[in-house]
Amino acid sequence: MDFFPAGHPLTQALTERDYTDLTAVQTEVLDPKARDRDMLVSAQTGSGKTVAYGLAIASTLLGDALTLEPAAEPLALIVAPTRELALQVHRELTWLYQYAGGRVVSCVGGMDPRAEQRMLAKGAHIVVGTPGRLRDHLERGGLRITKLKAVVLDEADEMLDLGFREDLEFILEATPQSRRTLLFSATLPKAIVTMAQRYQRDAWRIAVSAGQQGHADIEYRAVRVAPNEVEHAVVNLLRFIESPTALVFCNTRESVRHLQAILLERGFAAVALSGELSQSERNHALQALRDGRARVCVATDVAARGIDLPNLGLVIHAELPQNAETLQHRSGRTGRAGRKGVSVLLVQLSRRRKAEMLLQAARVQAIWGGAPSADDIRKRDQERLLQSPFVTEDLTEDDMAMAKALLAERTPEDIAAALVRMYRSHLPAAEEVFDPGSGLPAPEPREYREPREPREPRGDKNGLPGQSVWFRLNVGRQKNADPRWLIPMICRQGKITKQEIGAIRIFDRDTRFEIDAAVADRFIAAVRQIAKGDVRIEPLPEGASPAGEASEAHAKPARRPDKPKAPWQGKPGGRPKTKQA
């Protein structure tokens, strides 16, 4: 091992953890030219940054010695954005410095500050904490930093996003000017560069590109979904991609609550992480994931920052992230420490352009396709059953005796069917989903797209068979039918896009509209699965005219209003309308 000389305490710790090769960022920080210098490092989440800066500060803390002096005032300060990340860093540095006699103390929100003060009073070589709690200990005199040799800002971009700029500046101003300052960040926005210029001296710049390290172990997939099938797609992905732990991202607390409720109803062991939870509730949820009592975590971006879940092989973006940096942070929860991971973006057709821009900005290639179907999942279940210990493990004499007894009473087919039932009994049922993009041409680049012509009926003027199929909806002008809310509802129930809808004609008691013949069968199958409610869609009866009754045949086309109206808004009245959608 060439990390440190033979017999070095860090070499012993790394060997015990099966470190045979360093990651790119770990190799870069050990460059002889970087020794004892400030560092500005950009590397993706999951690239081994914690061990990297643990190795980088070793020469500063140990010098030429093999063990540290008895713990007194801290020599290094590590600042992390969240409690979970700080505790994770505490665990990593504890094993890394165990043979060097290192004592690591954590100071984070949600813990008893008096207990932390007692730990600090006993002495520490390295203190790891969150910005607010570290500042509090500094102001109260519990954290003494006159002998501090190094400060590390971990996930600096996240700390600025979370509003910790003032706390970080306070900490950096309070620490000795002679310290080393190591700044680690997944991205380098202008605010980070400005902070580096202000608080670092002749910093050694390290940039580990996404292609080199950040996404090497992550497979990206983009899954097309209909607007009302996002939850079904999440269910099928969790069933199809077998991962001990999965993380599903939503953009709001309400979405987290809703999706967790759906997953629990389907039989998944799911927990939620959002800003409304107390620290005790967060701890309980994370512990359930770590000890295997829960398999799925549904979370917002802020709530999931800094958490490191064991065996996390799948990240699902139920709602698209706001920007490429968030996509990288989310996806970086998986594919860590050399393990493979999968990151799946659920993309409604109306959001495809944004998804493509996100992937391009993040410089990753995604495999596009539809959500796994129920048939796909059944085939995968069969493969897993054949590889299950139920089937592959060696049988004992008692097992063989019971098997012979069963065969004397039942046929082999009956016994196999019982085994299948037993295997499936604990698995959530797969959902029937449609791929709304199958068979559709790829969208043209926006800069070459021609202005859209006004939509005309796809059949002839009398609605005779042509390129479309006509349907009837039992809501008309008397219930304030309006294209602004009818079109999204038709797309949602029929799992189609608005480009596949032709003319819409609104009458007193019903609405008639045409659907592209190429998707008509799929549309019919989709609406038949919808539970019968107040709004019903059915094919126009044979012989019925899309033009309606004679008294309505000359209805004027209706303009789309600027704002949508729900069925209960406004007052009925006036002549029937014909709308060219």
Kindly report, residue by residue over 318-344, the tens digit of the pLDDT.
999 988 878 888 888 887 766 789 999
Is residue 546's pLDDT more than 60?
yes
Q: How much is the pTM? A: 0.60
Least confident of 89-93, 201-205, 208-212: 208-212
Is residue 413's pLDDT more than 80?
yes
User: What percent of the chain is predicted at pLDDT more than 70?
Assistant: 85
- Banded pLDDT at 15 (limits 50, 70, 90): confident
Nearest CA-CA partner of 124 in 136, 106, 140: 106
Q: pLDDT value at position 453?
A: 45
Q: Give Cβ neighbours of residue 29 (< 8 Å, ≥ 6 apart).
A: 39, 41, 52, 53, 55, 56, 206
Q: pLDDT value at position 445?
A: 41
Mean pLDDT of 489-502: 85
Mean pLDDT of 467-496: 84
What is the SS3 assignment for 342? strand
CA 102 vs CA 44, 113, 138, 148, 332: distances in Å = 27, 22, 22, 15, 29
Instruction: Give the Cα separation of 527 and 469 in Å (integer).
Output: 14
Report DSSP letters for 274-290, one per residue. Answer: -TTS-HHHHHHHHHHHH
Instruction: Give the Cα separation of 364 and 332 in Å (integer).
Output: 13
Least confident of 1-5, 195-199, 311-315, 562-566: 562-566
What is the SS3 assignment for 439? coil
Report DSSP letters for 162-185, one per residue. Answer: TT-HHHHHHHHHHS-TTSEEEEEE
Instruction: Give the pairing of strands 577-579 and 501-506.
Output: antiparallel
Q: pLDDT value at position 368?
A: 93
Neighbours of 321 (CB within 10 A): 21
Q: pLDDT value at position 190?
A: 86
What digits encode the pLDDT tens for the residues 240-288?
998 899 999 999 999 999 999 999 998 999 999 987 888 788 888 888 9
- Banded pLDDT at 563 (limits 50, 70, 90): very low
Instruction: Give the Cα separation of 335 and 422 in Å (integer).
Output: 33
Q: Which of 125-134, 299-308, 453-462 has the highest mean pLDDT?
A: 125-134
User: What percent of the chain is predicted at pLDDT more than 90?
Assistant: 37
Is residue 457's pLDDT more than 70?
no
- Banded pLDDT at 532 (limits 50, 70, 90): low
Instruction: Give the Cα separation of 20 and 248 in Å (integer).
Output: 32
Mean pLDDT of 407-427: 81
Mean pLDDT of 148-173: 90
Instruction: Give the Cα separation of 142 and 120 in Å (integer).
Output: 7
Q: pLDDT value at position 2?
A: 53
- Banded pLDDT at 533 (limits 50, 70, 90): low
Of the two residues 457 and 181, the one the predictor is more confident about is: 181
Instruction: Give the Cα separation of 539 and 545 in Å (integer).
Output: 12
CA 346 vs CA 317, 366, 489, 560: distances in Å = 6, 12, 20, 30
What is the SS3 assignment for 386? helix
Of the two residues 304 and 116, the one the predictor is more confident about is: 116
Residue 7: is it exposed, middle or buried by C-beta count within 10 angstroms (0-12/13-18/19+)? Answer: exposed
Q: pLDDT value at position 459?
A: 54
Tokens of 467: 């390129």
Report DSSP letters for 97-130, one per residue. Answer: TGGGT--EEEE-TTS-HHHHHHHHHT--SEEEE-
Mean pLDDT of 549-564: 45
Neighbours of 387 (CB within 10 A): 10
CA 5 vs CA 35, 78, 406: distances in Å = 16, 26, 64
Mean pLDDT of the chain: 82
Q: Which of 255-264, 349-358, 555-564 has the highest mean pLDDT?
A: 255-264
Instruction: Give the Cα separation of 309 and 205 in Å (integer).
Output: 30
Q: Phi first, then psi: give them for residue 224, nearest 5 degrees.
A: -75, 135
Domains of the chain in start order, with CATH, are: 9-212 (3.40.50.300), 215-373 (3.40.50.300), 377-424 (no CATH), 468-579 (3.30.70.330)
Least confident of 176-185, 381-390, 490-499: 381-390
Mean pLDDT of 149-172: 90
**What b/e readout covers 234-273, taking b as 16+ CB neighbours within 10 angstroms?**
bbbbbbbbebebbbbbbbebebbeebbebbeebebebbbb
Q: Give Cβ neighbours of residue 578 (< 8 Å, ≥ 6 apart).
A: 503, 505, 506, 555, 556, 557, 558
Euclidean distance between the first and final Cα of the chain, in Å?
70
Question: Residue 501's beta-bridge partner residues?
Answer: 515
Angle formed at CA 226 by CA 377 and CA 515, multiple of 5 degrees:
120
Is residue 51's pLDDT more than 70?
yes
Is residue 567's pLDDT more than 70?
no
Q: pLDDT value at position 142?
A: 92
Q: pLDDT value at position 256?
A: 93
Instruction: Give the Cα separation of 194 and 405 in Å (integer).
Output: 77
Mean pLDDT of 78-83: 90
Of the two residues 519 and 18, the one the predictor is more confident about is: 519
Is residue 174's pLDDT more than 90?
yes
